[in-house]
Structure 1
């Protein structure tokens, strides 16, 4: 089946792994090529080539800042989401340790948050890991009890990368302000930015991190929003670029790319988001009708007015009883459908997902979980074809799975 994904090329594949990475938008490619081949100057230099490059950097900052409703001076470019999270957590902890050495995060964070927290524990910091409920929502009661006088940072992801749960960031921000206004609030928005609206100043976010390749931008570029008067120790030292916050010659093509990606994603955003939710709803309804399938996290949207609670529009995590996820993944791949068995950052490791354990997933679904993740180019036709393929595959795979239905 030939499918046009909206990028100017016709393909026979159905790509449903957009939470892992997205295809770079055509307009992003065009702008990056122009910068790489024509306006290739170093923004730190004083001649016209350098000045032009600096203008590109400033324009990208303006686009991002306007989207977040913040000042462009608060945007620092990085090499991607992992560096941004390390900068927020390690840089934030080291810069504020005189006030305390207690940190808070959740039991279902991405490895780029979890592993820096482990590192900080090794450096003598204390970390509290908050529990989540069956849908993956962090406990507000546990958060309120955990915040202390010496708590210097709380880190909560906007959207879980495995099951797609949206965290109530506004409520978390209110609790932090109530219990200890000096505590920094970091939001890993790598999976949420471009899928839900986030305005840091409105909900008391001090640090917000984003990756370009999750929003149809290039790989190797990301940014961190650092609020006014927020102290963060730089982790990369050198020539003092970006006001000493992140040294190294700026990746101008990447910066231009992420700026254009942000512009593209948020152009007519409400309509794009609404359409994606409709596609997700129909897809989930059809999955639920299949035998031996469980949706992890929120299956359906809670309400049209309350986007801060429920699932993100692009992620569906399903558990398939009596089928190993890698078997189903490769069976779908053979038919031109690309999905994931979990987070792209942990799929190479055989251990069962900590997120699925944290939300209390039934054992019979743990080994057979597949993550389907869509983008704004995903079509109803593609999702219908995926469902038809699953309906044909599941009985066959279970028949030949040891211990499966006969």
Structure 2
């Protein structure tokens, strides 16, 4: 059993495992850079003593670089980083090739399908600028990430340049340089060949002069030097065109005053690589042991883990993995809360999306979308690895307490669920309602990606599943209702959407409605066709009062009848705009205008809505609710609205006809200083941490003692709908979730809402 800290007095120390994105500057390298700025600050182009001393540093570092990469008679040019080196190589190769083009031939530019995006984008750019108009082609890879040699042999005879990488930045997979060399030169002796060596430096042996590689860019910040310094190898007699012209520095190959502090830092790193320093890097054999130790800890923490690459053909400093049932963002948030830094695939994209590298390798979509990259450098120590492994297991235990994984040893520490929980996958929503007193639950609009998560929650929380129900037959996904029902409701007889056949009946507004009991509440079924012929709405309400014949509705699960800033589309074969008109009026008569609506899609991260909130921005709905148009008029306008639906890329079908651009409301943003000042004033301010319980349990600020996970924000809205004047300040990891939640609350009428800009990432108390 573990005791996770609630408000730790001492924050967890940082464990940094994202070295493939960037590395910290080693103290020795930083000291050399600072010393150069303070004492050896001369311009290397100056002929006085101070300038000559500066030039000596550059030439000494250049020679060290040549030794490390085995440059032979090739040149080493200092650059601002790998991207500049890539531009220089591609520009040089294409500008030279343009002079020899045969107008009767078709040419191509080749690059590896798993190449860093800087390469294909640069190829396209210079291909266009130089008006070469060659076809840019990606070289396929197999499931191991290895380039297709047959494809290269076929295409390289017409290639003006071929670009490959020594080591992949996401998976650590390395290519067989000798085999590539043989394949390329057997089919084209003169094409230019660039090899991205950024991730290879310090992790593999390089001997570039013994290959036919023409260009190889390197980056300093991937190996403990500052950002803004890099270098590139250019083979002797390879075509070269200066990317930056000017004062003629670097022997006229790269103009601009040299980054002397950066070069000095590189000099220290190179001395460590060459073994000429008392400070050395961890041997390769030990790095392999480090990776195995991390893999063992990950497997212990997450028994279902899948590694996305083979350790047999990847450098030992990279692990890329996916954990079934968890998105990459969830695992990143979990590790961040444990002060353990990892990334989702490549850090060069600010958005967390599927990995194009893993897609190219043919891995299943879930692995690509859930990928986590854990990477370290050769300066990693045994002590750091030991602490990282301890932290990984520690973080995973927080998931167990949140009932997202099951461990019988600590199941007693579980955090009980209560009320409404919202789950999102893409634009789709599933809803779980739990009655704490009776430990009973219902699951509405079950998404297939959530099947195992729901089963884990039910088992861990020891819940009794009363029903699993779809609000309609979904066009954009296959419901997992049958799978869940088979395990938990095998004896229950239902209709095709999962509504229990033996449900009770009540009279509301003079009409009969079926309902089931969930604790002290009812779930009432209402037929609301329109989006589809079988569409229903489910109203979670207090038991009906026969005397007043009115419902007190807490939540209306209306499927795709009414969405945020949208009405469900009515251009499916079973749709009916006329039926939707009637259903909207019926829904309003049963739930009023202020009950919370929980649709089956949330395309704009608005969580929930109400008729009051929607009629202010949905003129067609406002006309329906106010009886200003009839069914025929609604049908005409709705048909026009549906013509503007644009389905998303891939398999996601848009189920709502969006009204506009969904303009976000502005909310007050606090900084650390303004929040500290506000806390010093007498007020009834309520500070809320929006992270999930597993993040909150690992670490949070003592001021934010109220934890309202974003998945339970709708429940919070329902509980506080009669106190919308309360001053609320929200916080999360980075400020993204808190901003979305604050905007949603303001849109729903909460009057005093703000959030901490930048979240915990930028603010410490």
TM-score, normalising length: structure 1: 0.89
For the residue of structure 2 that corresponds to 1:210, the secondary structure is strand
Residue in structure 1 matched with residue 390 of structure 2 by the alignment: 385
Over residues 223-249 of structure 1, what are the superposed CA-to-partner deviations in whole Å (9 max), with x where a residue is unaligned?
010010001211111111112211101
Which of 243, 264, 270 is matched with 1:235 structurally? 243
Where does the alignment leave 5 or more consecutive residues of structure 1 unmatched? 1-10, 302-309
Question: Does residue 1:273 correspond to 2:284, yes or no?
Answer: yes
CA distance in 1, matches of 2:282, 2:189: 36
Residue in structure 1 matched with residue 145 of structure 2 by the alignment: 136
Query: Relative to 1, partners in 2 of residues 1:102 and 1:365: Cα closer, same or farther, differing over 3 Å?
Result: closer
Residue in structure 2 matched with residue 222 of structure 1 by the alignment: 230
Superposed displacement of residue 125, structure 1: 2.6
CA distance in 2, matches of 1:228, 1:140: 26
Superposed displacement of residue 382, structure 1: 2.7
Question: Does residue 1:338 correspond to 2:338, yes or no?
Answer: no
Query: Is 231-240 or 373-382 further displaced after alignment?
Result: 373-382
Residue in structure 2 matched with residue 328 of structure 1 by the alignment: 331
Residue in structure 2 matched with residue 125 of structure 1 by the alignment: 134
CA distance in 1, matches of 2:190, 2:214: 10
Preserved CA contact (<8 Å) 1:212 1:261: no
For the residue of structure 1 that corresponds to 2:71, the secondary structure is coil
Question: Does residue 1:295 correspond to 2:307, yes or no?
Answer: yes
Superposed displacement of residue 328, structure 1: 1.4
CA distance in 1, matches of 2:252, 2:112: 31
Residue in structure 1 matched with residue 20 of structure 2 by the alignment: 19
1:185-200 matches, within 5 Å, as 185-200=193-208
Query: Relative to 1, partners in 2 of residues 1:200 and 1:233: Cα closer, same or farther, differing over 3 Å?
Result: same
Superposed displacement of residue 134, structure 1: 0.8
Residue in structure 1 matched with residue 316 of structure 2 by the alignment: 313
For the residue of structure 2 that corresponds to 1:224, the secondary structure is strand
Superposed displacement of residue 15, structure 1: 0.6
CA distance in 1, matches of 2:76, 2:315: 25
Preserved CA contact (<8 Å) 1:215 1:265: no
For the residue of structure 1 that corresponds to 2:209, the secondary structure is coil
For the residue of structure 1 that corresponds to 2:225, the secondary structure is coil
Over residues 255-309 of structure 1, what are the superposed CA-to-partner deviations in whole Å (9 max), with x where a residue is unaligned?
11112212223439896111111111232244345333111121x23xxxxxxxx
Preserved CA contact (<8 Å) 2:112 2:138: yes
Residue in structure 1 matched with residue 48 of structure 2 by the alignment: 47
Q: How many residues align?
A: 385
CA distance in 2, matches of 1:373, 1:367: 18
CA distance in 2, matches of 1:240, 1:182: 29
**Alignment RMSD:** 2.1
For the residue of structure 2 that corresponds to 1:190, the secondary structure is coil
CA distance in 2, matches of 1:174, 1:97: 25
Preserved CA contact (<8 Å) 2:354 2:370: no
CA distance in 2, matches of 1:229, 1:248: 23
Query: Relative to 1, partners in 2 of residues 1:286 and 1:384: Cα closer, same or farther, differing over 3 Å?
Result: closer
Query: Relative to 1, partners in 2 of residues 1:397 and 1:355: Cα closer, same or farther, differing over 3 Å?
Result: farther
Superposed displacement of residue 365, structure 1: 2.2
Superposed displacement of residue 121, structure 1: 4.0
Query: Relative to 1, partners in 2 of residues 1:57 and 1:361: Cα closer, same or farther, differing over 3 Å?
Result: same
Residue in structure 1 matched with residue 699 of structure 2 by the alignment: none
1:84-123 matches, within 5 Å, as 84-100=85-101, 101-122=107-128, 123=131
Question: Does residue 1:70 correspond to 2:81, yes or no?
Answer: no
CA distance in 2, matches of 1:103, 1:378: 42
Query: Relative to 1, partners in 2 of residues 1:136 and 1:266: Cα closer, same or farther, differing over 3 Å?
Result: farther
Residue in structure 2 matched with residue 373 of structure 1 by the alignment: 375
Which of 1 and 2 has greater Rg? Answer: 2
Preserved CA contact (<8 Å) 2:244 2:254: yes
Query: Is 383-392 or 321-330 further displaced after alignment?
Result: 383-392
CA distance in 2, matches of 1:370, 1:266: 32
Preserved CA contact (<8 Å) 1:158 1:188: yes
TM-score, normalising length: structure 2: 0.48
* Higher RCO (C-alpha under 8 Å, 6+ residues apart): 1
Preserved CA contact (<8 Å) 1:323 1:397: no
Preserved CA contact (<8 Å) 1:99 1:152: no
Superposed displacement of residue 373, structure 1: 0.3
Over residues 31-62 of structure 1, what are the superposed CA-to-partner deviations in whole Å (9 max), with x where a residue is unaligned?
11111000100011111111111111100001
CA distance in 2, matches of 1:214, 1:193: 9
Residue in structure 1 matched with residue 293 of structure 2 by the alignment: 282
Residue in structure 2 matched with residue 151 of structure 1 by the alignment: 159
Where does the alignment leave 5 or more consecutive residues of structure 2 unmatched? 1-11, 102-106, 406-420, 424-449, 458-765
Superposed displacement of residue 126, structure 1: 2.3
